[in-house]
Amino acid sequence: MSIKITEECINCGACESECPNQAIYEGGKMWSMSDGTSLKKRKEELKIDPTIPKDPRKQEIYFVVSEKCTECVGFYEEPQCAMICPVNCCILDKNHLESKEDLFKKKNFLHGE
């Protein structure tokens, strides 16, 4: 499952640097799959260009790119954003259910095995 950030976010920015996948972005910022991952190096083998900048998913508050969030699997025991957030607004996103095995696969996809 991915984490999502709720409207309670106070834009403190504490979570952004904690994410091992660079899956968290400030509201209004463009994002890409290659930010903070090894996908750029493997561009040739991928069907899509991971460096293409994508539109922000939120304008006013920080947001999580679910395609990049692994719940910190492969790096930490607990989601780091949820641990550090002072207002507890990083919660599980039930619209993006994934098993632990799938999260490991996602981590390997993002960073190489």
Label residue 74 left, alpha or beta by phi (over 0 means left) and psi (-120 to 50 means alpha).
left
Other CB atoms within 10 A of residue 27 CB: 15
85 binds ligand SF4 (CB under 6 A): yes
The DSSP H or E segment spanning 24 is: strand 24-25
15 binds ligand SF4 (CB under 6 A): yes
Which member of 64, 103, 106, 109 binds ligand SF4 (CB under 6 A)? 64
Name which of 40 and 96 has its Cβ closer to ligand SF4.
96
Tokens read off for 4: 């999502």
**Span of 30-38, 48-56, 79-87, 94-102 interacting with ligand SF4 by CB under 6 A:** 79-87
